[in-house]
A and B are shown apart, each in its own frame.
Chain A
Amino acid sequence: MVIKLTNTVKEINNNSVTFYFEVNPITDDLANLDYSKAFTTNFSGVTLTYSYTGNGKLALLVDYNATDVQGQGISVQIDTTQSGLASFEHYVQSSYSFVVDPDNNVAASPYAPSTYNQAQAFRWIALAVSLLFLGVFIISLFTKRYIGVEMMGVAQVAFFGLMIITEWEPILASMSYMSYVNGVNAQIQKDTYAAMETPSPLSGLQIDAPMISNFNCVLIFMLLPLLVALVLFVWSKVTKILSRQNMLLEYSKTALC
């Protein structure tokens, strides 16, 4: 049996980290395998929970309370013959090594419960502030648009600036909940267990390599004023009332710019 680490996610609310593996070859009996018997690791002072989610995807939840597992080199010995299942009897032993480095850029270090509580409150604060920014921006669209544009730039720097920090601690990680200041984009990922192609400070901000993953709904939002302007322009050409023609033309220009 061969395994491959596809994603590492540090849970944001407690001292645990989940490792997602791809297991090969994929057989029906993988669901019946006792992974705690078949897998031996050099993790110490932690609790391991294996869960097979189907289609060759295995999740390993590691609960640590006092151990700093960030950056630790982990070796996994796989011996399925220990499982007692006939279909695995002829599998040869194998091993796999990896380093603990969560893809969501949150350090897998032990933090006090008070830190997690603060982080949880901070997430709500960050979310509220980002919504406040959006609200003020929407108001500015009807008055002085450049004020809104310049103000949003500050919030966007506060969000994107997080990419210069590696290994966020939970409170700082909560700042990433400000993503709404960049508009809304739909996550386009076939495999939800797979890590993004980008380094962890970027994937922690949900920035993936394909442009379509980061800039989809926003592009539609950008195209919307252009389409409205086009419709108004065509309408101004079709209508026969002169005053309406001029008014529609003016609205068309306003929508465009």
Chain B
Amino acid sequence: MLCFEYQWVASFEVFALYEGHNDVAKLPASLVMLVLSFIIIVGMLVLLKIRPVPFGAYKTAFRNTAFCQNYYWYLIASRFVLMSIMVFGSQFKYIGFACMLVPFVNFFILNSKKPYESKGDLGRAMGNEAITFLILGIYSYYAAFVHRTDHDQTLNITLPYIVILALCACIALNITFLIKTILMFL
């Protein structure tokens, strides 16, 4: 469910903003989808609080303080805010810089609150936020300063490759921890 949060928020907000009732047949189906997905998401959030045991690592990987135990509520809220800024502000040239605030704040919250039990997990999560910040920085630069005819400048050609390299670094960072976990099981 958490994995599709960005997709859900984007779909929901775009539906609310741009649905022009051009296709009447899709409206009731969209509303049913919205209600159903909303029930699932809220249900999961409530269960995470009142029945934490079956959620396993979503709870046990975090320190035993109120904030750390509810860290995923914070993460879900921050993802909601980031996607909302993107959808509502996509028409504004400099909105990318506002988007960058979200991973920036997340990074400092991770650093100050240290919600994870393991230092490795904390470093991994901070690495993910740093990569998100970098990618949004590159997109913000493109949106604000690169005209469509300036694409052939060396820096502008290189930046998409940096995005891909950053994503590969993200995979490497996370898979290292997964392999460590698998080896521990074995």
B34's partner among A143, A167, A211 (CB-CB below 8 A) is A211
How many A-B residue pairs lie within 8 Å, measured between CB atoms?
226
Q: What are 29 A-B contacts defined by CB distance under 8 Å?
A: A133-B171, A140-B174, A140-B178, A143-B178, A143-B182, A143-B185, A146-B61, A148-B174, A150-B75, A151-B171, A151-B174, A153-B132, A158-B163, A164-B86, A174-B160, A182-B4, A199-B91, A201-B90, A202-B18, A209-B17, A209-B22, A210-B26, A210-B30, A211-B31, A212-B33, A214-B7, A214-B15, A254-B54, A257-B47
Contact A129 B15 (CB under 8 A): no
Interface segment among A26-34, A49-57, A74-82, A219-227: the answer is A219-227
Contact B90 A164 (CB under 8 A): yes
Contacts known (A147-B174, A198-B14, A209-B15); A257 close to B54, Cβ less than 8 A: yes
Contact B89 A215 (CB under 8 A): no
Per the bound structure, the CA–CA distance linking A107 and B36 in Å amounts to 38
| Known pairs A156-B6, A254-B54 / 10 extra A-B pairs, C-beta < 8 Å | A139-B175, A145-B57, A150-B128, A154-B135, A162-B139, A164-B143, A183-B3, A197-B20, A211-B33, A257-B55
Contact A144 B57 (CB under 8 A): yes
- Whether a CB of chain A sits under 8 angstroms from the CB of B149 is yes
Per the bound structure, the CA–CA distance linking A136 and B167 in Å amounts to 13
Per the bound structure, the CA–CA distance linking A125 and B167 in Å amounts to 11
- Tell me how far the C-beta of A184 lies from the nearest C-beta in chain B, rounded to whole angstroms: 11
Over the window 14-56 of chain B, the binary record of Cβ atoms lying under 8 Å from chain A Cβ atoms (1 yes, 0 no) is: 1101111011001101110110110010001001100001111
Per the bound structure, the CA–CA distance linking A116 and B140 in Å amounts to 23
Contact A147 B10 (CB under 8 A): no
Interface size class of A (residues with CB under 8 A): 35 or more
* Chain A, 103-146, CB within 8 A of any chain B CB: 107, 109, 111-112, 115, 118, 122, 125-126, 129, 132-133, 136-137, 139-140, 143-146
With a CB–CB cut-off of 8 A, which chain B residues contact A152?
A: 3
Contact A219 B37 (CB under 8 A): yes
- Whether a CB of chain A sits under 8 angstroms from the CB of B181 is yes
Per the bound structure, the CA–CA distance linking A43 and B50 in Å amounts to 65
Per the bound structure, the CA–CA distance linking A183 and B58 in Å amounts to 22
Contact B177 A144 (CB under 8 A): yes
Contact A129 B164 (CB under 8 A): yes
Contact A218 B4 (CB under 8 A): yes
Chain A residue, CB-CB nearest to B127 = A154
Per the bound structure, the CA–CA distance linking A203 and B8 in Å amounts to 16
Per the bound structure, the CA–CA distance linking A129 and B29 in Å amounts to 33
Interface secondary structure of B, over-half rule = helix
Residues of B within 8 A of A (CB): 1-4, 6-8, 10-12, 14-15, 17-20, 22-23, 26-27, 29-31, 33-34, 36-37, 40, 44, 47-48, 53-58, 61, 72, 75, 79, 82-83, 86-87, 89-91, 95-96, 99, 103, 121, 124-125, 128, 131-132, 135-136, 139-140, 142-143, 148-149, 151-152, 156-157, 160, 163-164, 166-168, 170-171, 174-175, 177-178, 181-182, 185
With a CB–CB cut-off of 8 A, which chain B residues contact A22?
A: none
With a CB–CB cut-off of 8 A, which chain B residues contact A169?
A: 148, 151, 156
Per the bound structure, the CA–CA distance linking A111 and B14 in Å amounts to 32
With a CB–CB cut-off of 8 A, which chain A residues contact B142?
A: 165, 172
- Whether a CB of chain B sits under 8 angstroms from the CB of A213 is yes
Contact A139 B178 (CB under 8 A): yes
Per the bound structure, the CA–CA distance linking A126 and B163 in Å amounts to 10
With a CB–CB cut-off of 8 A, which chain B residues contact A170?
A: 151
Contacts known (A133-B171, A146-B57, A169-B151); A164 close to B95, Cβ less than 8 A: yes
- Tell me how far the C-beta of A96 lies from the nearest C-beta in chain B, rounded to whole angstroms: 21
